[in-house]
Amino acid sequence: MSSLLALIYLLASIGFIVGLKMLSRPDTARKGNWVAAAGMAAAIFGTIFLYSDAEVERLGNYGYIFVALIVGSVGGWWSAKRVKMTAMPELVSLFNGMGGACAALISGIEFNHLLHPMHATAPATSGQVLIIVLGLVIGTVSFVGSMVAWGKLNGRVKDFSFGGQLVVNLVLLACMLGLSVYFVMTAPGFLATANYATPILVFALVLSVAIAYGVLFVLPIGGADMPVVISLLNSFTGVAAACGGFLYSNKAMLTGGILVGAAGTLLTLLMCKAMNRSLANVLIGSFGGGSKTQGQGGQAITGSYKQISLSDAAVVLSYANKVFIVPGYGLAVAQAQHVCHELEKLLEEKGVEVKYAIHPVAGRMPGHMNVLLAESDVPYEKLLEMEQANDEFSTTDAVLILGANDVVNPAAKTDTTSPIYGMPILEVEKAKTVIVNKRSMKPGYAGIENQLFFQPKTSMLFGDGKKVLQDLVAEIKNL
């Protein structure tokens, strides 16, 4: 049986790797999801029915196990099925938090086993205790941080910061690391002499500090920075799951955790680069909505903006040779992705080449705009990454910006006093004409005016994104 289970774990690991590879392309992503899910299902049922060791001939409590599987599966499926695209980031945070909670619970259970020698097959070692405390710390921070992010994204939790929060975060981080090191160095000795009080106290302190750090780490971070945080917390969950794989010598769990941790870390680095932030800056939670510098600085903008009528905008787009659409979070809020795709198809019928320019941190989670547009069946080949789009803007007749703001602000390149200076942006100002759809002239998340809106080639098209696009489609049809 053990050989068969090892084979199943190998196949599950291959399923995770192949599934992740397939997720890199939209046309294979759905199949990749199923392949990875099949690998996970094989690992779960293989463990349930084939696992055995010297202490346990077979797993028991099948009733509890299958009730939990059914409740979790149905709840997860129902939540994902009914979620609105604007709420997708908070659902991702919630699901990610559950992974972190599982890893922390595993550490708690295994520590409890060490407190009861009849459940332990051998005395506790420093390596075993190290893995337990790593799973506890990383899993707890991931869970608590994800729950705070979930609350912030759905509006239940507000941005909050206070003077000296950076120092407090660093002190908490130092305490968490110090207590963890002390726990690893002393717990095996205390447990060997049946002195359980000290390890239990230190374990509880590590858990408490990790909870506090998880809250304060995410609490000051604003919505525009959430893609970085979600990606980072996702990598935390993967690493915590890998710790569980080490504890149980489970190859499938270890492989899955490493894949998630590595992918999340790489994506976090890409997100940091896209927002011109360092990873250290993210880890100490010193940026975001509560930052003292947020919205301050920036050169004063002189001049005025000009508006464009629906009919004029329809003419500009209809008689262009190439049009770029730049989606932002406002498009998701307006739930206008379907009518946006309708506009794209209508323009193409008139012989206009239409593409989409996607900024890496547009939206509230990594890939938010890609998922949003995929929901409305926009072909993936039309979605250009920032570098590709910037190469083509100079040959573009018109750019239609839908709900994006800071990611197209030229101040990021020209104004050294701007809070967003140095952040790579979509260089839409290179196009011949720029049309910006916004509800008002209210600044974006950075709290600064957008220089783009006051440039001669830029025109503002005010109104709700969905209503404006519907009216624009009607105007184009009447031309």
Cα-based angle 137, 138, 140 (whole degrees, multiple of 5)? 65
The SS3 call for residue 450 is: coil
What pLDDT score does 57 carry? 56
Given 35, 50, 82, which residue is the final one in a domain? 82
- Cα separation values, 146 from 119, 236, 391, 431, Å: 33, 10, 37, 39
What is the rounded distance in angstroms from the CA atom of residue 128 to the CA atom of residue 72? 29
Could you tell me what percent of the chain has a pLDDT over 70?
90
Asked if 280 and 369 sit in the same domain, the reply is no
pLDDT digits (tens, 9 = 90+) for 335-355: 889 999 999 999 999 999 999
Given 24, 59, 82, which residue is the final one in a domain? 82
CATH number for the domain that contains residue 460 = 3.40.50.1220
Listed residue (183, 190, 186) closest to 204, CA to CA: 183
302 in a domain, yes or no?
A: no
Q: How many CA atoms lie within 13 A of 5 on its CB side?
A: 16
Question: What's the distance, CA 228 to chain centroid?
Answer: 6
Pairing, β 458-462 against β 322-327: unpaired
What is the rounded distance in angstroms from the CA atom of residue 332 to the CA atom of residue 367? 12
Q: pLDDT tier at 74 (50, 70, 90 boundaries)?
A: very high
Q: pTM for the complete prediction?
A: 0.80
The lowest-confidence range among 295-304, 358-367, 422-431 is 295-304
Residue-range definition of the domain harbouring residue 335 = 310-478
Segment 18-46 mean pLDDT: 89
Q: Which one from 225, 406, 415, 471 is the annotated catalytic residue?
A: 406
Asked if 101 and 26 sit in the same domain, the reply is no
Pairing, β 322-327 against β 353-358: parallel
pLDDT digits (tens, 9 = 90+) for 85-97: 777 888 889 999 9
Q: Which residues contact 338 (CB under 8 A, 6 or more apart)?
A: 375, 376
Task: Answer whether 245's CB lies under 8 Å from 261's CB.
Answer: no
What pLDDT score does 292 carry? 37
299 in a domain, yes or no?
A: no
Number of domains the chain contains: 3
The residue with tokens 């941190």 is 361
What is the rounded distance in angstroms from the CA atom of residue 88 to the CA atom of residue 93? 9
What pLDDT score does 222 carry? 66
301 in a domain, yes or no?
A: no
What is the rounded distance in angstroms from the CA atom of residue 125 to the CA atom of residue 430? 62
Asked if 168 and 281 sit in the same domain, the reply is yes
What is the rounded distance in angstroms from the CA atom of residue 407 to the CA atom of residue 358? 10
406 as an active site residue: the answer is yes
Given 53, 82, 111, which residue is the final one in a domain? 82
Token reading at 209: 């500090």
Q: Which residues contact 408 (CB under 8 A, 6 or more apart)?
A: 326, 359, 401, 425, 426, 428, 450, 452
Asked if 233 and 97 sit in the same domain, the reply is yes
222 in a domain, yes or no?
A: yes
Asked if 9 and 154 sit in the same domain, the reply is no
What is the rounded distance in angstroms from the CA atom of residue 34 to the CA atom of residue 41? 10
The SS3 call for residue 298 is: coil
**Most confident region among 50-54, 270-274, 401-405, 438-442 by mean pLDDT:** 401-405
Asked if 324 and 357 sit in the same domain, the reply is yes
Asked if 149 and 72 sit in the same domain, the reply is no
What pLDDT score does 297 carry? 53
305 in a domain, yes or no?
A: no
- Cα separation values, 232 from 113, 208, 225, 280, Å: 31, 21, 11, 12
pLDDT at 117 over 80: no
Pairwise pLDDT comparison (237 vs 113), residue with the higher score: 237
Q: Would you give the DSSP letter of residue 377?
A: T
